[in-house]
Chain A
Amino acid sequence: MRPELPREFVASHKRRRMMDAVAELTAENGYEATKIADIVRRAAVARKTLYDNFDGKEDLFLSAVNATLMEMREAIEAGCAEADSSPEAAIVAGLEALLEFIAEHPAASKMCMLEAISATPSSARLYDAGMRDCVHLLRTHAPADASLPATIEESLVGGVAWILQLKIRRGEAEDAPVLLPELSQFVLSPYLGVGKVVDTGRRK
């Protein structure tokens, strides 16, 4: 007789499948065009299961975006923490972790960084909150310099986000890590002197 998996495990595995399904489908077809029927088919769950766990498409979408943003932030923070020998090293490590996350989770990244902005007002708010978190992260790790413009972190985060959005839109999310040298140069240039080139030797 098959041993029974614990109910909570099965339930959370199904939730995961539904969130993965909504990420894949919205990345493929956009939020509008994605229907509940598509989601339950992709996730291989019953319609009832979806409605037991979520209020509907938007609730599922928001949960998936939120979960991915949290995972993204954890990955960045872990990267920064591992390489805290200097602020510059921490920033490069955080960027590297973000790029690797995008390469490993292309659909979920596209969902958060592109679809979320235009899907619903609530998902746009989640995206804005995610950007705010990145600004805060950069402010925390960057070299302290009172003479830098107050908006520098917002500009840098906005610029990185834009480059990543372009890459993802071109269908090259899996290649995101190749952007590390140019993004590191860009993010660090306000903090470095003239002519210094950033060393982005991979830490692994």
Chain B
Amino acid sequence: MANIPADLRYTKEHEYVKQTGADAIVQIGITDYAQGELGDVVYVDLPKVGASFGRGDVFGTIEAVKAVSELYAPLAGTVTEVNQALEGDPALVNRDPYGAGWMLKLRAKNAGELEQLLNSEAYKKQIGQ
């Protein structure tokens, strides 16, 4: 059973969004379910701080040994921070997807978009859990 915390929001492409407490800044990564499906993550290609994305835009790619997947921005916004640790240790995504394996912090352009994302129940339903 994948761990799908109740306090996060989700996309059907398996990204999660966590509110950081700071104004309009959200943390983004992939779900426990997604890391399990991909297997051992070997590389995460992330954008630079300052890059802007529209909702649903591709912001990076994630690679396992025999799979590669694009990463989609759950919300429109501007990158304020990138998880540098993934460069040296991409397996953090496998070990701790909601913690040390986070990918981006984004200043959301439109805070209302958060409400349009899936809640944990809806996401669980999507992955058949």
B is a partner of A:
no
Q: Which residues of B contact A (CB under 8 A)?
A: none
Q: Which residues of A contact B (CB under 8 A)?
A: none
